[in-house]
Structures are given as structure tokens and as C-alpha cells.
Amino acid sequence: MRGEQLLQEYRLDGEPDTKRVVASCCNSAMFLDFEKGHWLSLYRDRFDGQAPPIQMRVQTKYRPEGATLPKDLPSSPGFSLGFILRLLGARIAMLIGA
């Protein structure tokens, strides 16, 4: 990995816990970090190598008007029970050091 010096962090007024990071060379969004949580929203096409498969779609109520979602994955307009359970499982694994 290289180019870290080109990453520029942006925060919205009134939302200091949310950080958006773009590559300053081309103004391309790289990731969004919600610092109170324990996950990142990545723009997966920006990274080299084999990315893990997408497992589900959440917060689909915010998709652009008229956009249709493929039927290949579970989708939820909000945070589904499956998503919450995965987050809790990850949190528990981090706490016990697994």
C-alpha cells in the first residue's frame, strides 16, 4: 500500500464522529469512518487485491430514486436483525480476544 500522504480527511460541522477520506490527487472517495462504531464504509473498487465478498445490503432506503437492487444478496431498508447480530458477534469476539 502506498499513497497514504495523499489521503485527506473531511468532517461535517456538527458531526465530528464521522470522517470522510478522499485521495487528494484525484478527489476520489476512499472510505467513510464512523469513529463511535467499529466499522468502515469502503469504496471497494478503490483497493487492489481480493476483497471479501459482499454479504448483505443495509440502509437501502437511501438508494437513489428509481435505483433497483439486484436480488443476489439479502437487502434491508434499515439495519436488519442479521446485521445487528453480526455486529454483536464481532464485538463479543473482540472483547474476548478471539
What is the DSSP secondary-structure string of 17-67?
EEEEEEETTTTEEEEEEETTTTEEEE-GGGS-S-PPPP--B--GGGSPTT-
All three cell numbers of 80, joined, read 436488519
Q: What pLDDT is attached to residue 55?
A: 85
Q: What pLDDT is attached to residue 94?
A: 85
Q: What pLDDT is attached to residue 87?
A: 85
Q: How far apart are CA 34 and CA 70, in angstroms?
A: 27
Q: Who contacts 54 (Cβ-Cβ below 8 Å, separation ≥6)?
A: 44, 73
Q: What pLDDT is attached to residue 98?
A: 58
Q: What pLDDT is attached to residue 6?
A: 93
Q: What is the DSSP letter of 92?
A: H
Q: What pLDDT is attached to residue 71?
A: 92
- For the chain (98 residues), the mean pLDDT of every run of 10, in chain order, is 87 82 91 78 80 85 91 92 88 83
Decide if 77 contacts 25 (C-beta within 8 A). Answer: no
Which helix or strand (DSSP H or E) is residue 79 part of?
A: none
Decide if 82 contacts 73 (C-beta within 8 A). Answer: no
Global pTM reads: 0.57
Q: What pLDDT is attached to residue 7?
A: 93
